[in-house]
Amino acid sequence: AQTVTQSQPEMSVQEAETVTLSCTYDTSESNYYLFWYKQPPSRQMILVIRQEAYKQQNATENRFSVNFQKAAKSFSLKISDSQLGDTAMYFCAFMLLSGNTPLVFGKGTRLSVIA
């Protein structure tokens, strides 16, 4: 079974600064996806970024980028130029690359961006 671990329950960052959220996972499979989802106070789940495990290049979406280390089974999220609207819970998630296997979520990291 796959597991996802987020070791930082809470983090804070000053506005305009950079913050990195950690995620590690455990799987014996080699083909999978990794995701970061953002959950603001409205509790909606918003996809931030996705990484295919077969791609060596780290995914980037504007101010969001990942550091994917497949051998170490690590998938951290870097948020650059943090904005107040980035305040949210961030969930790391894993999905096997085979049909409709379910997402497995970590417990989340609560990020507070401070003005």
Binding site for other proteins (CB under 8 A): 33, 35, 37, 42-47, 50, 91, 93, 95, 97, 99-108
Measure the CA dihedral 7/3/28/36, to 10°: -70
Which residue lies nearer to other proteins by CB, 82 or 104?
104
Query: How near is the Cβ of 115 to other proteins at its closest, in Å?
Result: 26
- Cβ-based nearer residue to other proteins, 25 or 91: 91
Structure tokens at 72: 């170490």
Tokens of 113: 């961006």
Smallest separation, CB 100 to other proteins (Å): 4
Give least dist CB 60 to other proteins, A.
Answer: 16
The distance of closest approach from Cβ of residue 63 to other proteins in the complex, given in angstroms and rounded to an integer, is: 19
Which positions ≥6 away from 41 have C-beta within 8 Å?
A: 87, 88
Choose between 12 and 55: whose C-beta lies nearer to other proteins.
55
Strand pairing report for 46-52 and 32-39: antiparallel
How far does CA 57 lie from the centroid of its chain?
16
